[in-house]
Amino acid sequence: MAGAQVMSPSHLPSNRYPSAHMALVKVIPLGGAGEIGKNCTVVEQGDDLIVVDVGLAFPHEEHYGVDIVIPDFTYLLENKDRLKAIVLTHAHEDHVGALSFLLPQVSCPVYCTPFTAALVQSKLEERIHMKEVTIEVVQPGDTVNVGELSVEFVRVTHSIPETSAIAIRTVHGIVLFTADFKFDFTPVDGKLSNLARLAELGDEGVVIMLCDSTNIDRPGWGPSESRVTDGLRRVVKDATGRVLVTMFASNIHRMQQAIDVAIENGRKVAATGRRMETTIDIARRMGYLVVPEDCYIRLDDIGKYSASQLLILTTGSQGEPMAALSQMSRGEYGRLKIVEGDTIIYSARPIPGNEAVIWRTINRLFKLGAIVVTDADSPIHVSGHAYQEEIKMMVNLVRPFYFAPVHGEPRHQHISAKMAVTMGWPQHRVFRLANGDVLCIDAENAFVDEPVQSGEVLVDQHGNAAVSGEVLAERTALGHDGVVVVSMAIDTESGEFAARPEIEVRGFSGPDDAVLDALDDLGDVFTKIGPNDIRDTEKVEKAVTESVRRSISRHCQQRPVVVAVVLEV
């Protein structure tokens, strides 16, 4: 950073972890570097390759018909003989959501903590055969050996139980993934981040730390998850009708707070949405969620209680069209209708890109007579990610030799890098990695080598990874300017056009002249095509398509998709 004169602080590791080993350690993000979503990073040394997290991302608005986005696994598949383990930090979709695509193509165990294992298992069972999948359950604090490497799970606080930072011991020191974390000193489940262990790992020698940078642009310390109880309490106490609370289906701590507040106010709790019901079942069974038996009722039984005796947990905080709350807002959810007097609490932060659809859902709910409370009205949501001072604390505890902010967009990585420099880390020891980058660490240096193949694979609603960039470009063109279909018939015996071509348009709003002109111009095209070429359907279609595109562009700026259909008669 220009002009920043900082004393090299005494905590800054000045020497590398002592290592005379010649092996290269490589850190290769295949997702999650320079973006928030589809986290997936490879750590390798010699014949051992470990993947940390296999997550998905949600589509952007221009991803027409795309359900989810997953990392390009080409590099992993090319090296699957060396792939020894998949390690999961926690059960959020951006860390585990692409497992069902990778697991059928590789054979190595998946290591994770019990709660992550239970959620992952229940999701995988819906999609793939579990017979070939080995899930090795570990406890926070455990270390497992993977080839020449070892992997230690260190508890950190986040918005889902049993999140673990991952410490991978290599010949050149520890590669530490902070995972998604915050330093919450009053977590809902009382289970604190293992600060002492993080500091010990720092003493042992962390060669590089890959750090959550989602909230690096928020100064200070993030509020504790426990703060939400007060916000919920205030809203629920004032509500006279039913209360619905929407949140991520995996946010067990938030559910616990909503349930506690419901009980305080003499309300029974029900849940909508298959994902939420399943998660509640798993969390109750494993003891992560405490709900007295007589407090939890079936959704179909809510009719037996008055409005002021009910609190309903629901999915749909991100405006997902098929989620229960979205269906309710359209009056399409058979099991529950929104009525005047309902209060709906939005206890989640929009994933960037979802804002517009969330506001549309909220507006529809208001129209139905409900009152919708967001965290602008009351503190009913806090982030699960560290604010800047918490990230500084992590850096100070771990004192990595190299620092690489991930789980953030380039703007987050930029602020993180600046922060590290102000803390005394020299510029050349801070890496702003991009997906596909190969960060090589040897006994003395670290450098970024030629990238490996990486990118996004687009998956449709049916789970097929079949939406290519080309398909997407066509969908965009269709959405913007519609389609022009030219059909013509060719007499294959005489090698002549059998009838005048016809043009049909759908969703095209250009002037009629453009279409008429395009038809006229086709006459020229046909005379230019010799009797031999006319039987080459592909050639004819290409010439026709090009001609129609040219004619239309003379009249207007529009670029509709042009389809030529040749019938042989």
Instruction: Give the interface with Zn ion as residue ranges (CB under 5 A).
Output: 92, 94, 180
48, 53, 94, 212: the active-site residue: 212
Residue 180 or 342: the one with the smaller Cβ distance to Zn ion is 180
Residue with tokens 């270390």: 143
Element (H, E) at 479: helix 469-481
Indicate the residue among 92 and 399 with the shorter CB distance to Zn ion.
92
Sheet bearing 48-52, strands edge to edge: 135-137, 110-112, 83-87, 48-52, 40-45, 25-31, 438-441, 446-449
Closer residue to Zn ion, CB minimum distance, 180 or 260: 180
- Beta strands, E only, 359-482: 371-373, 402-406, 438-441, 446-449, 456-459
Token digits of residue 177: 């993934």
d(CA 92, CA 272): 20
In angstroms, give the least distance from the CB of 93 to Zn ion.
8
212 a catalytic residue: yes
Burial classification of residue 15, based on how many CB atoms lie within 10 Å of its CB (0-12 exposed, 13-18 middle, 19 or more buried): exposed
Q: Nearer Cβ to Zn ion, position 165 or 486?
A: 165
Nearer to Zn ion, 27 or 344 (CB): 27
In the complex, the smallest distance separating the C-beta of residue 249 from Zn ion, rounded to whole angstroms, is 13
User: Coil, strand, or helix at residue 201?
Assistant: helix
Structure tokens at 446: 């670290």
Q: Which of 94/481 has CB closer to Zn ion?
A: 94
- Minimum CB separation of residue 566 from Zn ion in Å reads 51
Q: Residue type for 139, please?
A: Q
- Reply yes or no on whether 407 is catalytic: no
d(CA 17, CA 12): 13
Smallest separation, CB 212 to Zn ion (Å): 7
Minimum distance between the CB of residue 177 and Zn ion, rounded to whole angstroms?
11
We find the least distance from the C-beta atom of residue 564 to Zn ion, in angstroms, to be 46
**What is the smallest separation between the CB atom of 90 and Zn ion, expressed in angstroms?**
6
Phi-psi domain of 539 (left: phi exceeds 0; alpha: psi -120 through 50; beta: other): alpha
Which is catalytic among the residues 172, 385, 407, 412?
Answer: 385
Indicate the residue among 177 and 508 with the shorter CB distance to Zn ion: 177
Three-class secondary structure assignment of 137-194: ECCCCCEEEECCEEEEEEEEECCCCCEEEEEEEECCEEEEECCCCECCCCCCCCCCCC
CA distance 343 to 238: 10
What tokens were used for 248? 């991520």
* 165 touches 154 (CB < 8 A): yes
Q: Which is nearer to Zn ion, 152 or 180 (CB)?
A: 180
Report the relative pairing of strands 456-459 and 68-71 from DSSP bridges: antiparallel
Q: 94 vs 162, which CB is nearer to Zn ion?
A: 94
CA 426 – CA 430 distance, rounded (Å): 7
Q: How far is the CB of 340 from Zn ion (least distance, A)?
A: 37
CA distance 405 to 209: 8
Tokens 């709350």 — which residue? 325
- Burial grade of 158 (CB within 10 A; 0-12, 13-18, 19 or more): buried
Give the three-class secondary structure for 136. Answer: strand
Determine the longest span between alpha carbons in the chain, in angstroms. Answer: 90
Residues 396-411 as b/e (b if ≥16 CB within 10 A, e otherwise) read ebbbbbbbbbbbbbee
CA separation for the pair 254, 245 (Å, rounded): 10
The pairing of beta strand 143-146 with beta strand 149-156: antiparallel
> Cβ closer to Zn ion: 32 or 510?
32
> Cα–Cα distance between 495 and 277 in angstroms, integer?
66
Active site residues: 212, 385
